[in-house]
Amino acid sequence: MTHIALVTGANRGLGRATALALARNKIRVVAASRGGGSEVVDEIVELGGEAIAVHLDVADLASIEAARVAVLAGIEHEWSASTVDVLVNNAGVGLFAPLGAITADDFDATFAVNVRGPLFVTQAFLPHLSEGASIVNVSSSLSRHVSPATSVYAASKKALEALTRSLAAELGPRGIRINSIAPGPTATDFNGGAMRDDEAMRAGLSGQTALGRVGDPAEIADAISALVSCEFRWATGERIEVSGGVLL
């Protein structure tokens, strides 16, 4: 049976890489993003895969409900399906500012996307997840180590990991697995593409990793793809860091 995966924030960066990695493993992809996700769908189709796109703003509860309706209609129309087998809560925002510059709006906006979003996306799709489905929440290595001006972002990712563990216990009776992936410094367009485009930043971060370089989005995506596979069927409530050994 061909599985179906819903990936949030699938239009760029790690979300795009994850959608492509899943498609290469013959998983049908629902690419969800504020931008609609049509470009990554085109890429997947060019690879010989199957995908549809839906609009989703994870910080907006009305958008989550609209996306739920659109996903169910889309998978029924395209694949005569009624359930989702894989959910990747990837959409996220970064807030990198010293304590004195952080506002309440900054805090609320960060937690709305990074914590509230995954919670309510999971809630919305829970009735439509297949028995034995797999959920991955994308966290960050910054939930483990300290870096200046990352307090709110790191706190949001730590909260997401706590959510992951709690839901693992709650959803276990249905055979649903939920784990978190914690990427280290990765060359994506996140935070304006600084880790990808700023050579000085990239060199500094590379020096903090055991493997001596920043990661490629495909390396994180491959880890997510492995985690949702049957090879990890006995793993739930876990935090898997994929960071090249940053700040060990």
Kindly report, residue by residue over 188-235, the tens digit of the pLDDT: 775 555 555 567 766 777 888 999 999 999 999 999 999 999 999 999
Long-range contacts of 151-155 (CB under 8 A, 24+ apart): 151/99, 151/102, 152/95, 152/97, 152/102, 152/106, 152/107, 152/110, 152/111, 153/94, 153/95, 153/96, 153/110, 153/114
pLDDT for the residue 190: 57
Q: Is 153 a catalytic residue?
A: yes
pLDDT for the residue 203: 73
- pLDDT tens-place string over residues 26-50: 999 999 999 888 899 999 999 999 9
Question: Which ranges constitute the DSSP H helices of the chain?
Answer: 13-24, 38-46, 61-79, 104-111, 117-125, 151-171, 194-197, 199-206, 217-227
Percentage of the chain with pLDDT > 70? 94
- At residue 146 the predicted structure's pLDDT band, cuts being 50, 70 and 90, is confident
The active-site residue out of 17, 56, 95, 153 is: 153
- What's this model's pTM, rounded to 2 decimal places? 0.95
> Does the domain formed by 4-242 have CATH 3.40.50.720?
yes
Residues 239 and 42 sit within 8 Å (Cβ to Cβ): no
